[in-house]
Amino acid sequence: MTAEFTEKQLKFLDVLFDEANGDVTKARNLAGYVGVTTSSWLTDKLKDEIIKRAANYLALHAPKAVTNMIEVMETPELPGQDRKLAAAKEILDRGGLGKIDRVQVQSDKPIGIFILPPKDKTEVS
């Protein structure tokens, strides 16, 4: 992975979710891209890696989201708990740990398959 990115690009990726707190411009400056006024070329090149690291960042914060949900459950009377719960649910949903909807299909009719005869191989003009 490191062979496909320059040292500055790796620095940008490292600081983006750390010191820069997700601020692309700040991360660009911290990585040493001095005098550059736009980040679109950089984010276009690193898009897949940024998305991968964002998913990892969500996974890293999933335990905190779970503990916040439990805290809301135990002390629902505290102010702001509805926002805290909504944020925790979003983190878990986007991190792949959200509510799972299960659909159960049942039928009182027999389920069968139809075997069709082979297609006629004559060509139609």
- Please say whether the beta carbons of 11 and 20 come within 8 A: no
Predicted TM-score (pTM) of the model is 0.64
Give the distance, in angstroms, between the CA of residue 85 and the centroid of all CA atoms in the same chain.
19
Check whether 36 has a pLDDT greater than 60: yes
Residue 94: how many CB atoms within 10 A of its CB? 15
pLDDT digits (tens, 9 = 90+) for 73-110: 899 898 988 998 899 888 888 877 767 677 777 777 77
The residue ranking higher by pLDDT, 42 or 125, is 42
